[in-house]
Amino acid sequence: MAHGKHPDAGAELSCFLRTEQPVPEKTALVVVTYQNVDDTLRCLDSIYAMHRGPGRIIVVENGSDAATVEELFSAWQKLAEAYGEKPPAMYPADRSKPGPAVMLRVERNKGYACGCNAGLRAVMADDSCEAVWLLNNDVIVERDTLEALCDRLRMRPDAGMAASLLADMDSRHILQCAGGGSFSRISGVTRDLGAGWDVQDTKQTSAEALEARIDYVCGASALLRRRALDAVGLMDERFYLYYEDVDYSLRLQRKKHTISIAVNSIVYHKGGVTTSKERHIDFYATRNRLYCILAYAPYSILFTLLHVCCGILKSLLFGRFTSAKLRIRAVAAFLYQSHESALP
């Protein structure tokens, strides 16, 4: 597995010589994990088994307790040794150092977007990285998953980010998402493309036909071109979790970077592990939906608020009182912070 290099006095020359043609060896992988050793190790095992893996692996331990951090770090060291790779080093997230395998420890969980940003900052400090692969920790990849993502970005020089097809871990012939989805600029509702589709049939579909139907790419497995990262910057940490990939995709497009789907890149997603309790969806998805509408379709904010209120009334009618309460809290949280603008 090839490894990236830390920037030095020749960083400006390295930047000038960048090929802008992403390859696995010049890609940094960022995986965020929270209190989940088993799935993260399964993900890393599939990474090490790839034909051409990423040049750097960055695992962000996003506020897990000390015992979980130590268990994962120790197990990762053994896994790397079993594959003949250099063992990982561990650093506080704000004092990252270069290396082919690094665990960054965030002291307190401030959300998925914050965890991603810890990894992205490490990538932005490494001038040799030409792309960053954002990957959920509850997935396993195929041997050519990253190569297919790189191929798609090379085919689409206008694209800032490309996503994999997301298949179900237990029913691997069935898709959860065909790489992205649509965002309604009327209601703020998102709909993942391709849920329930057959994987092999979708792989035979034109990528361009799928791309024409999406407004965002799914962040479970997405390759971000370095110049797009430099142009758009970090994720908006207000989102905490949910809608952060929607927001980032829309920000990319505002900066004139298109989004793409790599139909030959597959990951198998377990899903719903770190945030399996419904209350997370009720609060964060409602609040963040409102954030997105305000940022990208402010003319629809009143209708969206009305749509949300109708959903709250429906929850009350069907006795889902906890859900209704959390959505009310989400609306209140949005209104209290609605003066804040999305990141440029």
Q: How far is Cα 194 from Cα 176, in angstroms, rounded to an integer?
A: 7
pLDDT given at position 344? 39
pLDDT given at position 216? 98
CB of 110 closer than 8 Å to CB of 240? yes
- The alpha carbon dihedral of 156, 162, 167, 169 has a sign of positive
Residue owning tokens 């695992």: 59
Residue owning tokens 């040794």: 81
For the question of whether the overall pTM of this predicted structure is more than 0.85, the answer is yes
Q: How far is Cα 312 from Cα 309, in angstroms, rounded to an integer?
A: 5
pLDDT given at position 278? 53
Q: What is the 3-state secondary structure (H, E, C) of the chain?
A: CCCCCCCCCCHHHHHHHCCCCCCHHHEEEEEEECCCHHHHHHHHHHHHCCCCCCCEEEEEEECCCHHHHHHHHHHHHHHHHHCCCCCCEEEEHHHCCCCCEEEEEECCCCCHHHHHHHHHHHHHCCCCCCEEEEEECCEEECCCHHHHHHHHHHHCCCEEEEEEEEEECCCCCEEEECCEEEECCCCCCEEECCCCCEHHHHHCCCHHHHHCCCCEECCCEEEEEHHHHHHHCCCCHHHCCCCHHHHHHHHHHHCCCEEEEEEEEEEEECCCCCCCCHHHHHHHHHHHHHHHHHHHCHHHHHHHHHHHHHHHHHHHHCCCHHHHHHHHHHHHHHHHHCCCCCCC
pLDDT given at position 338? 45
pLDDT per residue of the chain (344 residues) written in tens, 0 to 9: 544 333 333 433 344 345 568 899 999 999 999 999 999 999 999 999 999 999 999 999 999 999 999 999 999 999 999 999 999 999 999 888 889 999 999 999 999 999 999 999 999 999 899 999 999 999 999 999 999 999 999 999 999 999 999 999 999 999 999 999 999 999 999 999 999 999 999 999 999 999 999 999 999 999 999 999 999 999 999 998 899 999 999 999 999 999 999 999 999 998 644 444 456 789 999 999 999 999 999 999 999 999 999 999 999 999 999 999 999 999 999 998 743 333 33
* β-bridge pairing 56-62 and 27-33: parallel
What does the buried/exposed string (b/e) look like for 134-145 if buried means 16 or more CB atoms within 10 Å of the residue's CB? bbbbbbbbbebb
Q: How far is Cα 334 from Cα 203, in angstroms, rounded to an integer?
A: 40
